[in-house]
Amino acid sequence: MTHSALPGQPFIAYQDGQLCVEGARVADLAREHSTPLFVYSKASMLAALAAYQKGFAGRKAQICYAMKANSSLSILKLFAQAGCGFDIVSGGELERVLAAGGSPAKIIFSGVGKTRAEMRRALEVGIQCFNVESEEELDVLSEVASSMGKVAPVSIRVNPNVDPKTHPYISTGLKGNKFGISHERTVPVYKHAASLKGLKVVGIDCHIGSQITTVAPYLDAMDRILDLVKAIEAAGIPIEHIDFGGGLGINYEGTQPPAADDLWQQLLAKLDARGFGQRHLMIEPGRSLVGNAGVCVTEVLYLKPGEQKNFCIVDAAMNDLPRPAMYQAFHSIVPVQPREGAQTTYEVVGPVCESGDWIGHDRDLNINSGDLLAVLSAGAYCMSMASNYNTRGRAAEVLVDGAKALLMRERETTQDQMLREKLV
Ligand SMILES: *Cc1c(COP(=O)(O)O)cnc(C)c1O
């Protein structure tokens, strides 16, 4: 029996010429559930979480899964049972955590545009902390909490103005971004927060961007945040927890970001050196917990030779896999049952009527129509960003645990899509 794991993906491997997620054959899952189909490895998600847990062993640290990366209920349940809290960015995400059995006491609420209704609901269920992103939001939150006879726990998101060296659409800690409060305004804003009756200051947070592949931006951001903690505490406002956000990258295309435990070994050394090692730490990883755990399985519909390019038209599209169209992102694409012989270079594209609907450029593949392909590293920011564009139903999702595979989301039907519409 031959076995070869894919690079950076120990739970996804070819066994006897068949792509498998853990012990389940991808081709069997596609036959049973049809395509496009997302398949996730439970062991891969738990291993990614374990790397953080190992990094934080012996510390007061809390891992809040940034669920916008993948908010499917079964994945939330998995992380809740493994002890995670959640970083949410909407009232909808709050309801998802509650539906999956997550504890409100471990929820932190980020985002620049929280509505009063979202604040009220979060206060009603008793979340752990609001990560506030503007001065006006502080006033509104204090007013909402006071009107309910409550006090809202707050942390202020600070923009440390460091360049995470990632795609501009996913860098969030630079001066020109809409996120957080500037470095310079931090102390006066904390003083204002501390003066408001409806608020209790509990922490500070930052999040500098996503798909970060080096340690340096984290070290820079940490230095700046610790300087601010000193200044805020010198002003008489104690900071109970420090939240360093998420953003650690995954391997999409040969880039090898630091492992979570290595990253945190370096960051904790800095924290210790600066005397903050015993603080309550929080982090908000999203992509690095789920990204490499998922594949999107798709069938080749047509091969279309062209004058300049050969097209491989598959049944997954930008509505299922939005990252290439949105960020020019790269996903590896591999055959589910590789064939021997010569390869052809293809543009791998979906059926959506947009030239931006591509999944991979210049991919060398030996395929026939009817073959299955797997788009790798599709666990994060794929299903959670999926849309119904072109009236395409969202894909089904399967969770694999060893040799067991459970359908965790049924394919969306056209009836589902028309449910709330009226013919007027
Ligand atoms: C998106 C987001 C995260 C998670 O980012 P990843 O790159 O997926 O780790 C964490 N915190 C906040 C505030 C976010 O918006």
pLDDT at 9: 85
Pocket test for ligand 1, best of 62, 109, 284, 382 (most atoms within 8 A of CB): 284
Quickly count: other Cβ atoms within 10 Å of residue 195's Cβ.
10
Q: Which residues contact 313 (CB under 8 A, 6 or more apart)?
A: 300, 301, 302, 303, 304, 349, 350, 351
Residue 274 CA, ligand 1 centroid: distance in Å = 26
Indicate the length of the chain as a whole number: 424
- Which phi-psi region, left, alpha or beta, contains residue 11 (left: φ > 0; alpha: ψ -120 to 50)? alpha
The residue annotated as part of the active site, out of 20, 84, 353, 382, is 353
Q: Is the pLDDT of residue 413 over 90?
A: yes
- If you average pLDDT over residues 282-304, what whole number do you get? 98
CA 247 to ligand 1 center in whole angstroms: 6
Check residue 245 and give its pLDDT.
Answer: 97
**Ligand 1 geometric centre to CA of 159 (Å):** 14
| Residue 129 annotated to the active site | no
> Dihedrals φ, ψ of 197, to 5°?
-65, -35
Predicted pLDDT at 169: 64
Of 89-103, 174-188, 285-299, 392-406, the range with the lowest mean pLDDT is 174-188
Ligand 1 atom nearest residue 248's Cα: 9
Ligand 1 nearest atom to the CA of residue 110, by list position: 13
Residue with tokens 């359908």: 407
Question: In Å, how far from its chain's centre is CA 140?
Answer: 28
How confident is the model over 51-63, as pLDDT tens digits?
A: 999 999 999 999 9
| Distances, alpha carbon 236 to alpha carbons 185, 198, 281, in Å | 16, 18, 20
* pLDDT attached to residue 171: 66
- CATH class of the structural domain 3-40+294-418: mainly beta
Task: Select 42-290's CATH number: 3.40.50.300, 3.90.600.10, 3.20.20.10, 3.20.20.70.
Answer: 3.20.20.10
Separation between Cα atoms, residue 235 and residue 410, nearest integer Å? 54
| Distance, CA of 254 to CA of 321 (rounded, Å) | 20
Q: Residue 3's pLDDT is what?
A: 80
Residue from 87, 88, 250 whose mutation best tests the ligand 1 pocket (most atoms within 8 A of CB):
87
Query: Are the C-beta atoms of 292 and 250 separated by less than 8 Å?
Result: yes
Burial grade of 348 (CB within 10 A; 0-12, 13-18, 19 or more): buried
> Please, which pLDDT band fits residue 308 given cuts at 50, 70 and 90?
very high
Which atom of ligand 1 is found nearest the CA of 212? 7
CA 249 to ligand 1: nearest atom: 7
Tokens for 355, please give them: 């030239």
157 Cα nearest atom in ligand 1:
13
Going from N- to C-terminal start, the domains of the chain cover 3-40+294-418, 42-290
List 295's β-bridge partners, or say none: 39
Closest CA to 320 of 351, 280, 362: 351
**pLDDT for 1 beyond 90:** no
Say how many Å lie between the CA of residue 177 and the centre of ligand 1: 14
What residues have CB less than 8 Å from 349, skipping those under 6 apart?
A: 311, 312, 313, 314, 357, 358, 359
Compute the distance from residue 312 Cα to the ligand 1 centre, in Å. Answer: 33
- Closest approach atom of ligand 1 to CA 205: 13
Question: Tell me, what DSSP letter sits at residue 389?
Answer: G
Give, in order, the Cα–Cα distances in Å from 359 to each of 12, 142, 167, 241, 291.
20, 46, 18, 41, 16
Half-sphere exposure of 220 (CA within 13 A, CB side): 15
pLDDT attached to residue 161: 83
pLDDT (0 to 100) of residue 4: 84
Average pLDDT over residues 374-390: 98
Summarised one tens digit per residue, pLDDT across range 321-350 is 999 999 999 999 999 999 999 999 999 999
Q: Which residues line ligand 1 (CB under 6 A)?
A: 66, 68-69, 87, 110, 207, 210, 245-248, 284-288
| pLDDT band of 115, cuts 50, 70, 90 | very high
Is residue 301 classed exposed, middle or buried when 0-12, 13-18 and 19+ CB atoms within 10 A define those classes?
Answer: middle
Chain center to CA of 98? 19
- Cα of 84 to ligand 1 centre, how many Å? 15
CA 172 – CA 164 distance, rounded (Å): 8
Tell me what pLDDT residue 174 has.
Answer: 66
CA 180–ligand 1 middle distance (angstroms) = 13
- The whole-number pLDDT of residue 168 equals 67
pLDDT at 5: 81
